[in-house]
Amino acid sequence: MTQLKIKLDGTTLSLDGDGVDGNYAAGAGITISGNEISRAAASADVLTIEDHAGNDTLANAESGSVHTNLGAGGTITLTLPDPGTEGVVFTFVVCVAQQLRIDPQTATIRSRIDQTANKYKWADAIGEHLALIADNNGDWVSMAEYVNWNEEV
């Protein structure tokens, strides 16, 4: 298993681990260079948290938001924008023991597990979380992943 170390210092998020190198010209106030992700200082560091009891399609304009399955009575699917705009960031957190699926549509979610286009990632244990950023190819890259995220078979 690849380990990823994350350090937050003000507005700079540093990543240390395999597969995090690359130079990207990100948007939405976020800059990625090598193993550093920086964002412009905001007037308030308040994140929007949206609880989803059912399926939803996310928009690039929701960048920086956190999405949970709180209130879900069964499996839900959150669909990523296709394509994602470079630098758009979403975080997903399992808050109830129901399957939370992240669907990239025709894109790929690049993470520690399989990286197949058009395959969703899923988790179902409380506390599991995944943070994704859109790259310059229209795909999604995992910035942080906790515990057992799986890929659609």
Q: Are 92 and 68 in contact (CB under 8 A)?
A: yes
Domains and CATH numbers, the chain: 44-151 (2.60.120)
pLDDT tens-digit map of 51-107: 999 999 999 999 999 999 999 999 999 999 988 899 999 999 999 999 999 999 999
In this predicted structure, what is the pLDDT of residue 115?
78
Segment 98-151, tens digit of pLDDT:
999 999 999 999 887 767 888 999 999 999 999 999 999 889 999 988 888 999
What is the rounded distance in angstroms from the CA atom of residue 110 to the CA atom of residue 140?
A: 6
Tell me the whole-structure pTM to 2 decimals: 0.70
Tokens of residue 20, six digits: 């995090």
